[in-house]
Structure 1
């Protein structure tokens, strides 16, 4: 398996593998990180010893999404459409992974970071966890398949609340929403995720993969068309003044002043 500096891969048990994002303190993602993650998962899919994966991240933040600290991001730049398209092709590869994934979400998962946190089958969280789909605050359409996967996971109305307000959902509320499966102390998130993955890995692997495939039937194919729609809408909205204002407002940590233009 290729070794990547932004990912740590290690065996936790005989059949459980930890895949850790190593870009602290914020673990911002870009095309390279998502492609590396897809490469790692595809290698683990071909390894019969691996029966479950724990997806985790270093530091206090799970993934803060794209980096807007400089006032913008090439992920939503109309002059870099191929970059965003490549990102979403890599995201689709993550959803085509056939083995169960448990997410250890120890801190904020924001924007595209929320999209990454939705890839696992289960999410273990703590009181410090924050989930937010802040795309409308950036003047852009949700991406990373969030507009499909989030309503499917937590229901349409709860997804509406998150997607149309950009509101941050804390660990306890995430548990009520069904966005989280276990709420534990901050220091126990990773160990609890490994314990759940181990429980899965003790079951018959062919039966687990077959059942998971049935439960997720059609998801990847439906996601493909959703990603295409999200991409087209993001390209369209990237040309608006509201999007430029949203990126500036987020980088300056203030509310945006939007004009529908």
Structure 2
């Protein structure tokens, strides 16, 4: 049985594994509404006593190409006033980051199946998962500096925690795209499989988790991730302050134009 959360998120449980699918193809651009629906889906899985693991997957060419800056903001502090932060979010959280905190608060282990782009906030979404299974065609990037912008979605904490400070600094200060093979070598991906086997491989890993004693898995994961959601809340507050400053700069406007026109930005430092 498939359950729908908002227009772009579905959940279907197979045995003890819940397949949670983003279906905003081709690029699954991040929005407050999409992340809220996803957080609602995770909360529902947490409440299902038969669900022991999640596979997070996405329809389309990309896992998530991040925020779509070509139109009105769907992500930042200038989002519609009706998009209020969740009750357990940091008081200073933007609507998007309130949902990011909810995602990090999920109690069920998550395996992400990453095809194509996991860029910007899409990278942040991939980092929410405990494990990432990727195809060789996957591309991971924290491309914020290419936009004249500051990283967000808790990436400045989650990425160094996963691959170390040096690798994270390289990704964030250059905006470099990391291919699937390199992501595996860095520990950014935990398994690399052909694109046609991606979902099956993610399901196998999730099933392996689900086969273990559920109380022991839950307790062990809670210890491993103790304080993580709180730290993400603190970090997104810091990230948002820097983003608000940079949003008003000439470089940010140039970065948006440059990315849309597929060229290097002509940045001036103001």
Aligned to 1:24: 25
Query: What is the root-mean-square deviation of aligned Cα atoms in Å?
Result: 1.5
Work out whether residues 29 and 67 of structure 1, in 8 Å CA contact, stay in contact via their aligned partners in 2. Answer: yes
Taking the aligned partners of 2:134 and 2:182, their CA distance within structure 1 comes to 11
1:24-63 mapped onto 2 (5 Å cutoff):
24-63=25-64
Work out whether residues 81 and 235 of structure 1, in 8 Å CA contact, stay in contact via their aligned partners in 2. Answer: no
Runs of 4+ residues deviating >4 angstroms: 78-84
Taking the aligned partners of 2:118 and 2:12, their CA distance within structure 1 comes to 23
Deviation at 1:107, TM superposition (A): 1.4
Aligned to 2:116: 107
Deviation at 1:73, TM superposition (A): 3.6
1:68 alignment partner, SS class:
coil
How many residue pairs end up in the alignment?
A: 258
Work out whether residues 6 and 34 of structure 2, in 8 Å CA contact, stay in contact via their aligned partners in 1. Answer: no
Aligned to 2:87: none
Deviation at 1:75, TM superposition (A): 2.9
Aligned to 1:208: 217
> Going by fraction, where is helix more abundant, 1 or 2?
1
Which of the numbers 141, 147, 153 marks the counterpart of 2:156?
147
Work out whether residues 68 and 250 of structure 1, in 8 Å CA contact, stay in contact via their aligned partners in 2. Answer: no
Aligned to 1:190: 199
Deviation sequence 1:173-224 (CA, Å, 0-9, x none): 0001100000111101110000000000000111101000111111111111
1:118 alignment partner, SS class:
helix
Taking the aligned partners of 2:171 and 2:11, their CA distance within structure 1 comes to 32
Taking the aligned partners of 2:44 and 2:67, their CA distance within structure 1 comes to 26
Work out whether residues 55 and 112 of structure 2, in 8 Å CA contact, stay in contact via their aligned partners in 1. Answer: yes
Using the size of structure 1 for normalisation, the TM-score is 0.95
Work out whether residues 5 and 38 of structure 2, in 8 Å CA contact, stay in contact via their aligned partners in 1. Answer: no
Gaps of 5+ in 2: 84-92
Aligned to 1:6: 8
Aligned to 1:229: 238
Taking the aligned partners of 2:78 and 2:54, their CA distance within structure 1 comes to 36
Work out whether residues 31 and 74 of structure 2, in 8 Å CA contact, stay in contact via their aligned partners in 1. Answer: no
1:56 alignment partner, SS class:
strand
Taking the aligned partners of 1:183 and 1:193, their CA distance within structure 2 comes to 10
Deviation sequence 1:20-73 (CA, Å, 0-9, x none): 100111111100000000011111101110000000000221000011234x64
Deviation at 1:74, TM superposition (A): 4.7
Taking the aligned partners of 1:4 and 1:93, their CA distance within structure 2 comes to 16
Aligned to 1:98: 107
Using the size of structure 2 for normalisation, the TM-score is 0.92
Which of the numbers 233, 245, 248 marks the counterpart of 2:254?
245
Aligned to 2:88: none
More contact order relative to length (CA 8 Å, sep ≥ 6): 1
Taking the aligned partners of 2:201 and 2:57, their CA distance within structure 1 comes to 12
Taking the aligned partners of 1:80 and 1:36, their CA distance within structure 2 comes to 16
